[in-house]
A and B are shown apart, each in its own frame.
Chain A
Amino acid sequence: MTKYVVKRVLLAVVTLFLICLITFFAMNAIPGGPFNGEKAKSAAVMKVLNERYNLDKPVIVQFGYYMKNLLHGDFGVSLKTGRDIRQTINESFAISARIGAMAMVIAIIVGIVLGSIAALMRNKWPDRVIVFFATLATAMPSFVLASLLLLLFCIKLKWIPVWSSTSHNYILPVLSLSLYPMAYITRLTKTSMLDVLGQDYIRTARAKGVAGWKVIFKHALRNALIPVITYVGPMTASILTGSLVIEKIFTIGGLGSKFVDCITNRDYTMIMGTTIFLATLMVIMNLLSDLVYKLVDPRIKLE
């Protein structure tokens, strides 16, 4: 196990280096630059800015500088705003992660429960209702749901303000964010559960007179969760890092919009910072979900 973890961590370091390399060269290859605007900056200003951020040097040299600073834990400052990248990511990730974690908890709990109910009551009305809503939620883009929630609760009913400088109400963004993974987990749990329930060992357990709830919770659900875990790992990383659409609609200063804005602005240091952060999170979540497999199903061998 330890050997496996060490090996995976080493591989992760290589992966992250490659991601840094590819991202750095790719972002420098696209047209435009961080200091372009509708009104041109003077040559003197451009010279100072390019020298200040080493943009006057060949890209390979810039990459060298960047990696050297990165190894010292220095992500630099945003070329657009001058704000510290690490601080910006920390602050906005804290907001996105809070909303994302709540959304993920709701999605996992409700999704597994509904999926299990649908599987256990297959072809009965609860199953049909659950499948109908799960299909609808999977098909509905989050911006449609978010807009509908905003219209209903903020504008028509006026229960929640659209925006306030004093109180943040995260109910609507959490609901909007959780619906898709919830529906997906419901469908995944149901399919997987049905598959497991048809297995011989379930029949054997029942034949041996094991209690119904025990068969479901100890034998069926545990095995049915493996595909769900595979999905939940990367999905969590993705949800924790925010959603551009939800952040724009509900005016949330999360990380999601930063991924897009920094590319639009060609804010090179921010592009690198957000990419490295997301990649690291993805690698960690994938590693964690692999380790959780082992806990759920001891037959799985980590190698």
Chain B
Amino acid sequence: MKKFTAMLLVGVMTAGMLAGCGSSTGSTATSATSGASEATATDSAASDASATQTASASAPDWSGYDSLIKEIKSDTDLVDREAKMHQAEDMLMATGAVLPIYYYNDLYMQKTDVDGIYSTIFGTKFFMYATKKSGDKTLKLCLASEPDHLDPALNSSVDGACLASNSFVGLYVSDKDGKYQPALADGEPKVSDDGLTYTVTLKDGLKWSDGSALTAKDFEYSWKRAANPDTACDYAYLFDGFAKDGDSIDVKASDDGKTLTWKLAAPCPYMMSLLAFPVFMPVPQASVEAASDYQSNPGSWASEAGFVTDGAYTLKTWNHNESMVYVKNPNYYDAANVTMDELDFMLSSDDTAMLAAYNAGDLDYIDSVPNDEIATLKSQPDFHVADNLGTYYVGFNVNSSLFDGKTPEQADDMRLALSYLVDRQSIVDNIGQTNQEVATSFIPTGMSDGHGGIFKTDDDAYKYPVNGGYYDPAVNVDKAVELLKKAGYTFDDNNMLSADTPINITYLTNDGTGHVAIAQQIQQDFAQIGITMDIQQEDWQTFLNDRKSGNFDVAREGWLADYDDPVNMLEMFTSESGNNDCQLGK
């Protein structure tokens, strides 16, 4: 028996070592990838997958796209810049690699006696000016489970941005109409004629929640800290457009701490949108650096309740994964107008538990409900929907073996044909269920054009191919068949794909009721002309890995804009972007 046990242990140990060796190889490959990307200095591929595919002969020619995006980012003529952004979207949509389904919106439930909560198109909610008919000064809410970081520079989630925006504030803030208003800034920024130098004067008497003075020097420190790669902020790239001052970005506070001046490398039409974004909010240097491990663990200072803030609230208690209690910050610049004394957050990712607490009267506001409850709840007066700036879409891997043997034009036609088969309205009606707008372009409705207008509006300078979009969203089987015939497929008299030229697609998605239901709808849509589609469901991390490394034919995708400018969504598809899951130019 003892011998057997010893042998078993040795066996297990060997298996463990072998598994490790396999993984070690993968890890080494990662290092190689990182090294290569470092050499190019722009590669944002964050993949640890070693199986990245090589470019296929059927992939579209993507050589002009990267330079076009580069031109857009440095263009000083904003009208010309818009024209180039349309050109970039035209290029993208012509490949058919992106199949837009709908533009995101955001549902929430808010008790009818609550008023004054507003949200932005980025999904950020502001609770400080809420009122309750009962006169109660405590608002009880549930947005999601606890975010990874409460440091506004390190946060990367939408719910985390809500917490950051209620406890921190930057130079400007979005009001309920989506307009940017001065917060800590005293008036509008002064911009140089070339659009490259910004100067902002701060309001007088600004204070942190601990009573210490808040000055422009705090902004200088915070922005340099956020832009520094060592801090490892996800949104550090938002500082990429800043001019450089040595190793750092060019931002300087005046000696008296009253004004902040920064320089850009190229004019930035969406600067105000950035200035209201959490990563541009100040953090208190003394508190940040009081944590003993602040250099190796930059978010450490805000990992427990009681940290210093400059926003409407400070975090009084934090029972991890249970609750957070925020109380009013008397030193907030607009404290006189803050109507809610306390925000109590339930920390849960379980939308059934959220809805139960809401129905029991324990919560005033919830940000999510179970998908199968939407149909019942949507007729209630406390059910609300707000617009978001983003697109739910399906992405094709242009290097997939699905397109083997096709010319780039035929591969484009294949993808475009499949787009004509998808019943987007049915997806919105039966799965999304919150009256999402059916997408006819990749850039969502409502996004700014960079010079005072809306990008997705037909104007004198640009007309979309079909009724303000790239296609008519109605299902068009004949058009799909016609395009597939051009791509070399044969059909019988009933418009069914011939057995001689079959199409077998694998659709990659992560687990999630809505995502899988959309995949099933698309599966049915494709089946109407005899296309076979298998749905491959994977756990979140495996899914991300496979999608990033191009290990799929078709995958579910989605993008919520970080700031209000089309380039945020277009630059995803540059050949070196880590978000270019479609593998364009790779």
Binding site for B on A (CB under 8 A): 18, 21-22, 24-26, 28-33, 35-50, 52, 55-60, 63, 77, 80-83, 88, 91-92, 150-151, 154-155, 158, 161-165, 168, 247-254, 257, 264-266
Return the chain B residue nearest A168 by Cβ: B322
Kindly supply a per-residue 1/0 record for chain B positions 47-86, scoring 1 wherever the CB is within 8 Å of any chain A CB and 0 otherwise: 1110000000000000000000000000000000000000
A-B contact pairs, 28 of them (CB 8 A): A18-B12, A18-B13, A25-B19, A28-B27, A30-B541, A30-B542, A32-B545, A33-B48, A39-B234, A40-B577, A43-B34, A45-B236, A47-B38, A50-B31, A52-B232, A59-B24, A77-B297, A91-B320, A154-B360, A162-B357, A162-B360, A163-B323, A163-B362, A165-B319, A165-B346, A168-B322, A248-B350, A251-B353
The answer on a CB contact under 8 Å between B360 and A155 is yes
Residues of B396-434 at the interface with A, using a CB-CB cut-off of 8 Å, are none
Residues of B127-170 at the interface with A, using a CB-CB cut-off of 8 Å, are 140, 142, 148-149, 156
The answer on a CB contact under 8 Å between B360 and A161 is yes
Q: Closest Cβ of chain A: how far from B318's Cβ, in Å?
A: 10
Contact residues in A for B44 (Cβ distance below 8 Å): 40-43
The answer on a CB contact under 8 Å between A40 and B578 is yes
The answer on a CB contact under 8 Å between B297 and A36 is no
The answer on a CB contact under 8 Å between B148 and A63 is no
In the docked arrangement, what's the CA distance between A247 and B27, Å? 35
The answer on a CB contact under 8 Å between A25 and B17 is yes
Contact residues in A for B462 (Cβ distance below 8 Å): none
The answer on a CB contact under 8 Å between A26 and B19 is yes
**A40-B27 contact in complex given A24-B20, A165-B140, C-beta closer than 8 Å:** no
Candidates B21, B28, B46, B299; contact of A46 at CB < 8 Å: B46
Q: Closest Cβ of chain B: how far from A178's Cβ, in Å?
A: 21
Q: Closest Cβ of chain B: how far from A167's Cβ, in Å?
A: 11
**B22 CB–A CB distance under 8 Å:** yes
The answer on a CB contact under 8 Å between B27 and A59 is yes
Kindly supply a per-residue 1/0 record for chain B positions 310-332, scoring 1 wherever the CB is within 8 Å of any chain A CB and 0 otherwise: 00000001011111110000000
**A40-B548 contact in complex given A47-B38, A82-B149, C-beta closer than 8 Å:** yes
In the docked arrangement, what's the CA distance between A252 and B559, Å? 32
The answer on a CB contact under 8 Å between A32 and B542 is yes
The answer on a CB contact under 8 Å between A43 and B37 is yes
Q: Closest Cβ of chain A: how far from B340's Cβ, in Å?
A: 14
**B523 CB–A CB distance under 8 Å:** no
Contact residues in A for B353 (Cβ distance below 8 Å): 162-163, 248-251
**Which residue, A44, A52, A253, has most C-beta atoms of chain B within 10 A?**
A44
The answer on a CB contact under 8 Å between A40 and B541 is no
In the docked arrangement, what's the CA distance between A170 and B317, Å? 20
**A32-B230 contact in complex given A21-B13, A47-B34, A59-B23, C-beta closer than 8 Å:** no
The answer on a CB contact under 8 Å between B229 and A45 is yes
Return the chain B residue nearest A55 by Cβ: B27
In the docked arrangement, what's the CA distance between A59 and B16, Å? 11
Return the chain B residue nearest A53 by Cβ: B296
Contact residues in A for B15 (Cβ distance below 8 Å): 22
Residues of B205-237 at the interface with A, using a CB-CB cut-off of 8 Å, are 229-230, 232-234, 236-237
Contact residues in A for B344 (Cβ distance below 8 Å): 165
The answer on a CB contact under 8 Å between A164 and B362 is yes
The size class of the interface chain B forms with chain A is: 35 or more
**B89 CB–A CB distance under 8 Å:** no
Contact residues in B for A247 (Cβ distance below 8 Å): 321
The answer on a CB contact under 8 Å between B348 and A251 is yes
**Which residue, A29, A88, A254, has most C-beta atoms of chain B within 10 A?**
A29
Contact residues in B for A55 (Cβ distance below 8 Å): 27
Contact residues in B for A37 (Cβ distance below 8 Å): 156, 234, 544
Candidates A22, A58, A82; contact of B27 at CB < 8 Å: A58
The answer on a CB contact under 8 Å between A21 and B16 is yes
Candidates A38, A56, A91; contact of B31 at CB < 8 Å: A56
**A36-B17 contact in complex given A56-B31, A249-B353, C-beta closer than 8 Å:** no
**A82-B362 contact in complex given A25-B20, A248-B348, C-beta closer than 8 Å:** no
In the docked arrangement, what's the CA distance between A88 and B322, Å? 13
The answer on a CB contact under 8 Å between A251 and B12 is no
The answer on a CB contact under 8 Å between A165 and B20 is no
The answer on a CB contact under 8 Å between B27 and A43 is no
Candidates A29, A57, A154; contact of B20 at CB < 8 Å: A29
The answer on a CB contact under 8 Å between A40 and B46 is yes
In the docked arrangement, what's the CA distance between A264 and B347, Å? 18
In the docked arrangement, what's the CA distance between A165 and B38, Å? 47
In the docked arrangement, what's the CA distance between A266 and B544, Å? 12
Return the chain A residue nearest B581 by Cβ: A40
Return the chain B residue nearest A258 by Cβ: B321
**B579 CB–A CB distance under 8 Å:** yes
The answer on a CB contact under 8 Å between B23 and A29 is yes
**B493 CB–A CB distance under 8 Å:** no
The answer on a CB contact under 8 Å between B360 and A39 is no
In the docked arrangement, what's the CA distance between A47 and B230, Å? 9
In the docked arrangement, what's the CA distance between A46 and B43, Å? 11
Residues of B442-489 at the interface with A, using a CB-CB cut-off of 8 Å, are none
Candidates B46, B323, B350; contact of A165 at CB < 8 Å: B323
**B527 CB–A CB distance under 8 Å:** no
The answer on a CB contact under 8 Å between B321 and A257 is yes
The answer on a CB contact under 8 Å between A45 and B234 is yes
The answer on a CB contact under 8 Å between B578 and A41 is yes
The answer on a CB contact under 8 Å between A29 and B320 is no
Q: Closest Cβ of chain B: how far from A173's Cβ, in Å?
A: 12
Contact residues in B for A28 (Cβ distance below 8 Å): 19-20, 23-24, 27
| Closest CB pairs A-B (n = 9) | A32-B541, A40-B578, A253-B321, A25-B20, A162-B357, A165-B344, A28-B23, A43-B37, A165-B323
Contact residues in A for B48 (Cβ distance below 8 Å): 32-33, 36
Contact residues in B for A45 (Cβ distance below 8 Å): 46, 229, 232-234, 236
Return the chain A residue nearest B299 by Cβ: A82
Beyond the given A21-B13, A59-B27, A266-B541, could you list 4 further A-B residue pairs with CB under 8 A, ordered by the A residue number? A25-B17, A92-B321, A155-B360, A253-B322
**Which residue, B31, B44, B353, B541, has most C-beta atoms of chain A within 10 A?**
B541
Candidates B236, B296, B325, B346; contact of A251 at CB < 8 Å: B346
**B546 CB–A CB distance under 8 Å:** yes
Contact residues in B for A31 (Cβ distance below 8 Å): 49, 541-542, 545-546
Contact residues in B for A155 (Cβ distance below 8 Å): 356, 359-360
In the docked arrangement, what's the CA distance between A180 and B194, Å? 72
In the docked arrangement, what's the CA distance between A22 and B22, Å? 13
Q: Closest Cβ of chain B: how far from A184's Cβ, in Å?
A: 27
